[in-house]
């Protein structure tokens, strides 16, 4: 089956709308390089659209009805939005679910050390990365430091042109003959992904003078003591803004597009949904890149508990109502797919690969090899999705993640499917997935947004 190229369908008006959407998306990426920053910006946008804080409604013992719009935040790192529909919640929801964490490096709790006159911060990489891709890049530090008095210091260093940036060093090619013989997975070891942090010694300090100067600077500039690293969450990410890519400016190159390229269209589609028949839910979670674990990951009870709270405010405080609401729901697990790369064509089955410019991508199944760890969507559900996409003139394609015995990967889809709801993976095709700088097609981003809006009308 030949895949359509969406560019051939677009007129000037559509191209203008697409570019405006992608400009706003790039701005969102620039302001949302961590999951905490994502949540802050999402909450701001939700409030502007009339959404209310569910926890405050619970505290004030308010009731909920059709047309109400609410959000809930968990630990500043996951957020859910609900647009209450006209149908009883027991009949299910239309859920757009994505993750807002991305591969990166995290600064350890006891990170600062000096070695031969240079100060470093020790890191632990987060998620699946090719470690050698993270050396010799300008890096920024984003996050929070929570002091023992519970005051919070927000940290962003390396994004402003006046800021310093940081770097993981690499061995010069002239001395790297032994290094170049190593496997790619061993060229740079995880314990060597430490960022260069300073080099000026503190005057009159005899031992670890550079380290002591860094400690002084941290306190003088930010009011941070070395002990405060213990209660800090500091993420090391590529410094710099999202950019248009290609001489025709048809693509976006940026950090963190897996999976914010799906989270942002999910959010905007939800905020623009208006009055809905079935309750619309936008579920944006943390920790997918490390297995959806922990309190802010999809495996937690956060989503289930929140739906239970909503039912209680609607006068349906019973377990069976909750089970029915979840089982009767439809979900798009909004996650990225690997774009076909002609340079590495041997890794793909091209006829079953995602092609740039061919629209939103559906993965009937994920997993690895023999579909291990997969959610495999029902044919009946896919037919229903096809119908609504056709009705709304959405360009779509289907894909698998590489050849059968090469590819593999997972999303949050299988976790939601455990409730018995209908779930399928779909999103945007990405080149350089999990690299510091990933590339997407603007027209695929826009078709994905259109697809998500269409889905919410099911």
Q: State pLDDT tens for residues 249-281.
A: 999 999 999 989 999 999 999 999 999 999 999
Per-residue confidence (pLDDT) for residue 17, from 0 to 100? 97
Per-residue confidence (pLDDT) for residue 237, from 0 to 100? 98
pLDDT per residue as tens digits for the range 119-148:
999 999 999 999 999 999 999 999 999 999
Mean of pLDDT values over 190-214: 94
Per-residue confidence (pLDDT) for residue 208, from 0 to 100? 93
pLDDT per residue as tens digits for the range 52-65:
999 999 999 999 99
Judged against a pLDDT cut of 90, whether residue 4 lies above it is answered with: no
Per-residue three-class SS string for the chain: CCCCCHHHHCCHHHHHHHHHHHHHHHHHHHHCCCHHHHHHHHHHHHHHCCCEEHHHHHHCCCCCCCCCEEEEEECCCEEEEEECCCCCHHHCEEEEEEECCCCEEEEEEEEEEEECCEEEEEEEEECCCCHHHHCCCCEEEEEEEECCCCCEEEEEECCCCCCCCEECCCCCHHHCCCHHHCCHHHHCCHHHCCEEEECCCCCCCCCCHHHHHHHHHHHHHHCCCHHHHHHEEEEEEECCCCEEECCCCCEEEECCHHHHHHHHHHHHHHHCCCCCCCEEEEEEECCHHHCCCCCCCCCCCHHHHHHHHHHHHCCCCCHHHHHHHHHCCEEEEECCEEECCHHHHHHCCHHHCECCCCCEEEECCCEECCCECCCCCCHHHHHHHHHHHHHCCCCEEECCCCCCCCCEECCCHHHHHCCCCEEEEEECEEECCCCCCEEEEHHHHHHHHHHHHHHCCC
- The whole-angstrom separation of Cα 391 and Cα 194 is 52
Position 411 confidence tier, pLDDT thresholds 50, 70, 90: confident
Position 410 confidence tier, pLDDT thresholds 50, 70, 90: confident
Judged against a pLDDT cut of 80, whether residue 372 lies above it is answered with: no
> Looking at the domain covering 104-238, what would its CATH class be?
mainly beta
Per-residue confidence (pLDDT) for residue 376, from 0 to 100? 85
pLDDT per residue as tens digits for the range 101-112:
999 999 999 999
The answer regarding whether domain 6-102+255-455 maps to CATH 3.40.630.10 reads: yes
Per-residue confidence (pLDDT) for residue 375, from 0 to 100? 84
Higher-scoring residue by pLDDT: 407, 293: 293
Domain boundaries, the chain: 6-102+255-455, 104-238
Mean of pLDDT values over 209-229: 94
Residue pair 432/385 in contact by the 8 Å Cβ criterion = no
Per-residue confidence (pLDDT) for residue 436, from 0 to 100? 98
Per-residue confidence (pLDDT) for residue 271, from 0 to 100? 98
Structure tokens at 428: 């945007």
The mean predicted confidence, pLDDT, of the chain is 94
- The whole-angstrom separation of Cα 453 and Cα 458 is 10
Mean of pLDDT values over 176-199: 95
Judged against a pLDDT cut of 90, whether residue 412 lies above it is answered with: no
Per-residue confidence (pLDDT) for residue 369, from 0 to 100? 73
Judged against a pLDDT cut of 80, whether residue 2 lies above it is answered with: no
pLDDT per residue as tens digits for the range 76-107:
999 999 999 999 999 999 999 999 999 999 99
Mean of pLDDT values over 438-442: 98
- The whole-angstrom separation of Cα 113 and Cα 229 is 13
Per-residue confidence (pLDDT) for residue 229, from 0 to 100? 96
């Amino acid at each position: 089956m030949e895949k359509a190229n969406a560019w051939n369908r677009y007129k000037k008006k559509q191209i203008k709308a697409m570019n405006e959407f992608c400009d706003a998306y790039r701005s969102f990426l620039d302001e949302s390089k961590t999951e905490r920053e994502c949540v802050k910006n999402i909450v701001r946008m939700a409030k502007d659209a009339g959404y209310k804080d569910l926890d405050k409604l619970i505290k004030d013992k308010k009731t909920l009805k059709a047309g109400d719009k609410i959000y809930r935040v968990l630990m500043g790192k996951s957020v859910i939005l609900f647009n209450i529909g006209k149908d009883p919640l027991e009949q299910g929801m239309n859920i757009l679910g994505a993750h807002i964490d991305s591969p990166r490096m995290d600064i350890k709790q006891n990170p600062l050390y000096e070695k031969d006159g240079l100060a470093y911060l020790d890191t632990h990489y987060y998620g699946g990365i090719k470690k050698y891709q993270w050396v010799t890049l300008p890096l920024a530090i984003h996050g929070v430091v929570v002091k023992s008095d519970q005051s919070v210091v927000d940290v962003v260093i390396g994004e402003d042109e006046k800021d310093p940036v940081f770097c993981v060093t690499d061995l010069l090619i002239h001395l790297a003959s032994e290094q170049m013989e190593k496997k790619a997975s061993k060229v740079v070891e995880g314990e060597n992904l430490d960022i260069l942090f300073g080099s000026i010694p503190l005057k009159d300090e005899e031992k670890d003078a550079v380290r002591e100067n860094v400690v002084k600077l941290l306190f003088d500039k930010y009011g941070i003591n070395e002990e405060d690293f213990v209660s800090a969450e500091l993420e090391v990410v590529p410094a710099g803004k999202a950019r248009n890519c290609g001489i025709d400016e048809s693509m976006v190159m940026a950090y963190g597009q897996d999976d914010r390229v799906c989270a942002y269209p999910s959010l905007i589609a939800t905020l623009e949904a208006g009055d809905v028949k079935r309750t619309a839910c936008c579920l944006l979670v943390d920790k997918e890149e490390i297995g959806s674990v922990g309190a802010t990951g999809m495996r937690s009870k956060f989503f289930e508990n929140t739906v239970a709270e909503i039912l209680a405010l609607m006068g349906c405080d019973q377990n069976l109502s909750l089970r029915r609401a979840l089982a009767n729901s439809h979900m798009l697990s909004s996650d990225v797919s690997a774009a076909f790369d002609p340079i590495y064509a041997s890794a793909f089955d091209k006829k079953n690969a995602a092609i740039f410019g061919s629209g939103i991508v559906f993965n009937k199944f994920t997993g690895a090899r023999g579909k291990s760890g997969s959610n495999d969507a029902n044919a009946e559900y896919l037919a229903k999705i096809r119908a609504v996409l056709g009705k709304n003139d959405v360009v779509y394609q289907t894909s698998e993640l590489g050849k059968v015995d090469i590819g593999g990967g997972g999303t949050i889809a299988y976790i939601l499917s455990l409730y018995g709801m209908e779930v399928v993976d779909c999103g945007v095709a990405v080149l350089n997935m999990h690299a510091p700088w990933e590339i997407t097609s603007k027209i695929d981003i826009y078709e994905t947004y259109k697809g998500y809006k269409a889905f919410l009308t099911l």
